Amino acid sequence: MWTEARADGRLPAHARLPAVLCLPMLQPDQGEPGTMKKTIIGAVLCLVAAYGYSKLRHVDLADVGTSRSAWAAPEPATAAPARYSCDGRTHCSHMRSCEEATYFIQNCPGTQMDGDNDGIPCEQQWCG
């Protein structure tokens, strides 16, 4: 809530602006009739303004970024060119690296490089 004071008794920075603006309204002039009514109305208006100000100050920046990106032009979806291609090789002896063997077992059908089916190909030659 916006009325939380810090350990030293001062209001946090986001609450000071409404408090400074409302202080003159909360100091009634004692000799004038209807002063109490004006003071109460002024206090209520200040509280509403301070509450709105604190809510406005705490707008989630993630939402602001999301709404901004919604208006931005979408980036074209382009797949990065593959370093390897499924060319019929199926055995570890045909591979040149662990990275290449991993690509093949994840993207190419019929490979025979993961004997224990643990997702790690060529454990004795490349990925062991």
What is the maximal distance between C-alpha atoms in the chain?
101
> What's the pLDDT at 33?
73
Mean pLDDT by 10 residues, the chain (128 residues): 57 57 57 77 86 71 53 59 86 94 93 92 91
Are residues 1 and 56 both part of a single domain?
Answer: yes
Instruction: Say if 30 falls within a structural domain.
Output: yes
What is the CB neighbour count within 10 angstroms for residue 35? 12
Instruction: Say if 71 falls within a structural domain.
Output: no
> What's the pLDDT at 34?
75
> What's the pLDDT at 7?
66
pTM greater than the 0.85 cutoff: no
Q: How far apart are alpha carbons 107 and 84 in whole angstroms? A: 10
Alpha helices in 25-114 (DSSP H): 35-57, 61-71, 98-107
Domain span at residue 90 reads 85-128
Are residues 6 and 41 both part of a single domain?
Answer: yes
Are residues 47 and 92 both part of a single domain?
Answer: no
Q: How many domains does the chain have?
A: 2
Instruction: Say if 50 falls within a structural domain.
Output: yes
The secondary element (H helix, E strand) that includes residue 74 is: none
> What's the pLDDT at 56?
72
